[in-house]
A and B are shown apart, each in its own frame.
Chain A
Amino acid sequence: MSSKILIVEDSSTTRAMITSAVEVIDDMEIFESKSGFEALKLLPHHCFNLIITDINMPDINGLELVSFVKGNPEYKHIPLIIITTEGSERDKEKGLSLGANEYLVKPFNPEELQKLVKKYLKKGDRL
């Protein structure tokens, strides 16, 4: 069974980079949303196995999304990785305290991201 992953990131380049990093993993179905709003709309329609979200976004920010996901009995089991930039220590900590499972600091190493994704999806490399 394929794993559904939701990427929430307003920068198209960063989004493409995250996607390119995770699509090498076996059997992935990737959903991209460029805002928190889009993510909120996608959430009820798919059973996501993992969410990767940026913090700094227009409309609702990543922390608000984390709080929404982790505060909702339907979604709170979904592992969540936040991607922050260096310097925003407090936001990162808040994200973790709200229930985010991991964080990654931009610019991230694609291998590191792959490792995290595999850890939460319990997947091996593509054969």
Chain B
Amino acid sequence: MTEPKIDLHEFLAEAEEIIGELTGNLLKLGEGIDAGQMEPDLLNSIFRAAHTLKGISGMFGFTEMAMLTHKMEDMFDSLRMGRLSLNHEIMNGLFEAIDLINEMLVTKGRGEEFGMDRVESIVARLEHPTGAPIAVVFGPAEDTDIDKGILNVLTEYEEHRLKENIKAGNAIFLIGAEFTLTVFDEGLVELTGYLKSAGEVIATLPSTGKDKDTLHFDILFGSHKDTAFVEDMLKGRNLAVKVVKEHFAPSGAGAGQAEVSIPSELRLEETTLRSVSNTVRVDIKKLDSIMNTVGELSQLKASISHIADKIRLEMGSAGPAIELSKTSRALEKRLKELQESMIEVRMVPVHQLFDKFTRVIRKFSRETGKEIELVTSGGDTELDKLIIEDLADPLMHIVRNAIDHGIETPAEREKRGKPRAGTINLMAYPKGNHVVIEVEDDGRGMSIEAIRKKAVESGLIDEASSHTISRQSILEFIFVPGFSTKDEVSEVSGRGVGMDVVKKNITNMSGTVDIDTEEGSGTRIILTLPITLAIIQALVTAAGAKRYAMPLAGVQEILNIKPSDIKTMERKEVYILRGRTIPVLRLEQFFKPAAASPHPPHGGGQGEEKAEMCGIVAGLADSMLCILVDNIISQQDVVIKSLGKLLKVAGIAGATDLGDMGTVLVVDVAGIITAAGRGMGERAA
């Protein structure tokens, strides 16, 4: 056998370099153990390091080191292939093995031999890891549109990563990119780096380019983001993006991200190490939590105003008292600005949603055999990210309806003298404090007569009255739950399947749905949505005959209160909570003191019919208040809508639509505390 003619130093230098990198990566990997996270790329490069070490020590005939690194390689292979889960004990074993390799290298460097006995004990430990073996499902990467030719090129590991991505429900893409020969590596590094921000690059497959001096790459990419998101992020990059497997997570799972802005025009040629945009992606939950903090700050501000008022009462309008009031008002103004900019940050352009339809329409068009042209306008109109998310399903439903039941087949259209391809117009435009989204088709429209007949048959209206009501009122029947079913009305009316659900979804966002139709020439669905959505968690309470929503942010605790628990001190009702006296406010009477009969001082009498009431303890420190309501109906997210500048009622923050429960007023807890505090102060004075 010809002895290799290379220097031992070559080996030592490379081995040392690999060990250094391996140690660093292993430490990084260790950080993720407790969180149960193993970065596949990191694990794979660790595997490759062990693999190379094994290879070179074997080539040099360093048996002990080859044996040890072989065991390490096996272990990393099991880890990266998901056959073994990492724990601290395995990690300790690996670090010991690395220490031993370091010692070996030193010994080799001195030209000495290393004993085998210590190697064997560590090898034994690596051979019987304590980590729980994981069952691995073998089988082809089934159920994808991935070309066999591509699957054949994947290494066992890449195939495993593909399966893992599929198992996790991730969308799988095949992204085709063309680069010139001279800069393809820079271009690819930039592109894969960008892709990694949204998922995993499973494999990069080179093939011959269109031109002599270009190379083509197919990048197999798995992402937890939905397909539209990925398509959107790759827009303008001149890539061929093919979805080979759709995301299968339940709808709405991708709704967690608010994109502040997406750089849409990134040229591949401009490869630079600088980050490609100065925007950040933020989880919308984080924005919500900032929003909550702002809400809490408002509460604190209310306390400060309360203190300011108290000081003024006790010390008169002395300098500091006035200053405190002024400062508190300035604080209020700034808080409002903060709240407004928070809302602004949540705004995203509607085209993010519209763009998804371009792809969907192509698919629907294929499925139904109808020719459809999608025209969108007003994509720059902005809406709250959450509205965009919640709008996706209803809008999809409307578009689907338009294609299924509105647009005719090409043959039918020709017969009617219409162009073969039907047109669907998606429009967005601002209108005052609202954004209007219109879906218009030039299909067969709805038959008012058919809807009227169906309404009479369903007993929604009697025959006689049905002839007197307006056309618009007849169209409204479309929104009655169960009114329009696929096999009945839709066939004649052209549209309307599940419109009750659409209406419910839109109403939940404080939006409205209108229909306009012309039999034979098309239908237009008009959605009107609020621009801003300040979503808060609220308690829906009943007080007297009315219901009120109370923002949860101001609530400290909820108590069950018997009428006898309420005491009277200095002609005011109070509740003693853990030795602390808290003023009591009956919500029902706060809002209609004139109409309500004067309340008996002890809360007996009237209270008899309600054996127990709910006390909502709200406010902070000095300004705590126990708000009495009859009961609490639910806790839910509500959207506050302003009642407008003209309708300023103390203690009311706005109104909210609760769907089934109708519209209720939203209580401004801070306002009530301030008002109640003043009232009490006056009475005390």
Partner of A21, one of B2, B11, B45, B207: B2
A13 within 8 A of B: yes
Q: Is the CB of B52 within 8 A of A109?
A: no
B59 within 8 A of A: yes
Q: Tell me the minimal C-beta distance from B268 to chain A in angstroms.
A: 16
Q: Is the CB of B215 within 8 A of A20?
A: no
B660 within 8 A of A: no
B597 within 8 A of A: no
A-binding segment of B147-155, B507-515, B526-534? B147-155
Q: Tell me the minimal C-beta distance from A95 to chain B in angstroms.
A: 9
B208 within 8 A of A: yes
Closest to B218 in A: A64
Interface residues in A53-85 by Cβ distance below 8 A to B read 55-61, 63-68, 71-74, 85
Closest to B183 in A: A41
- The residue in A13, A24, A98 that gathers the most chain B C-beta atoms within 10 A of its C-beta is A13
Closest to B18 in A: A11
Q: Is the CB of A94 within 8 A of B152?
A: yes
Q: Is the CB of B185 within 8 A of A97?
A: no
Q: Known: A67-B153, A97-B152. Is A13-B1 also a contact (CB below 8 A)?
A: no
Q: Known: A11-B14, A37-B185. Is A20-B52 also a contact (CB below 8 A)?
A: no
B578 within 8 A of A: no
B184: chain A residues at CB < 8 Å are 37, 40-41
Partner of B181, one of A44, A58, A60, A114: A44
Q: Is the CB of A12 within 8 A of B14?
A: yes
B54 within 8 A of A: yes
Q: Is the CB of A60 within 8 A of B206?
A: yes
Q: Is the CB of A107 within 8 A of B10?
A: no
Q: Is the CB of B156 within 8 A of A91?
A: yes
Q: Known: A12-B14, A21-B2, A111-B2. Is A106-B208 also a contact (CB below 8 A)?
A: no
B51: chain A residues at CB < 8 Å are 56, 85
Q: Is the CB of A16 within 8 A of B155?
A: no
Q: Is the CB of B156 within 8 A of A60?
A: no
Q: Known: A58-B45, A65-B206. Is A13-B153 also a contact (CB below 8 A)?
A: no
B48: chain A residues at CB < 8 Å are 10, 56-58
Q: Tell me the minimal C-beta distance from B458 to chain A in angstroms.
A: 63
Closest to A57 in B: B48
Distance between Cα atoms of A109 and B51 in the complex (Å): 18
Closest to B154 in A: A63
A10: chain B residues at CB < 8 Å are 48, 52
Size class of the A contact interface (CB-based, 8 Å): 35 or more
B607 within 8 A of A: no
Distance between Cα atoms of A122 and B216 in the complex (Å): 33
Q: Is the CB of A107 within 8 A of B59?
A: yes
Distance between Cα atoms of A11 and B14 in the complex (Å): 8
Would you give the 0/1 interface string for A2-36, flagging 1 where the beta carbon is closer than 8 Å to chain B? 00000000111110110011001000000000001
B203 within 8 A of A: yes
Q: Is the CB of A13 within 8 A of B181?
A: no
A16: chain B residues at CB < 8 Å are 4, 6, 10
Closest to B205 in A: A64
B58 within 8 A of A: yes
Q: Tell me the minimal C-beta distance from A75 to chain B in angstroms.
A: 9
Q: Is the CB of A106 within 8 A of B55?
A: yes
Q: Tell me the minimal C-beta distance from A2 to chain B in angstroms.
A: 20
Q: Tell me the minimal C-beta distance from A83 to chain B in angstroms.
A: 9
B344 within 8 A of A: no
A110: chain B residues at CB < 8 Å are 1-2, 4
Interface residues in A102-122 by Cβ distance below 8 A to B read 106-111, 114
Q: Is the CB of B206 within 8 A of A68?
A: yes
Q: Is the CB of A61 within 8 A of B10?
A: no
B5 within 8 A of A: yes
Interface residues in B180-215 by Cβ distance below 8 A to A read 181-182, 184-185, 188, 203-208, 212-213, 215
Would you give the 0/1 interface string for B34-54, flagging 1 where the beta carbon is closer than 8 Å to chain A? 000000000001001001101
B56 within 8 A of A: yes
Q: Tell me the minimal C-beta distance from A101 to chain B in angstroms.
A: 17
Q: Tell me the minimal C-beta distance from A77 to chain B in angstroms.
A: 14
Q: Is the CB of A13 within 8 A of B206?
A: no
Partner of B207, one of A55, A68, A98: A68
Closest to B8 in A: A13
Q: Is the CB of A91 within 8 A of B208?
A: no
Closest to B41 in A: A58
B637 within 8 A of A: no
21 contacts between A and B (CB under 8 A): A13-B15, A13-B56, A14-B52, A16-B4, A20-B4, A20-B5, A37-B185, A40-B184, A58-B45, A68-B205, A71-B208, A72-B208, A88-B156, A90-B156, A94-B155, A106-B59, A107-B58, A107-B61, A110-B2, A110-B4, A114-B2
Chain A residues close to B by CB (< 8 Å): 10-14, 16-17, 20-21, 24, 36-37, 40-41, 44, 55-61, 63-68, 71-74, 85, 87-88, 90-91, 94, 97-98, 106-111, 114
List the 10 closest A-B pairs by CB distance, nearest first: A107-B58, A13-B56, A20-B5, A16-B6, A68-B206, A67-B153, A37-B185, A11-B52, A107-B59, A110-B2
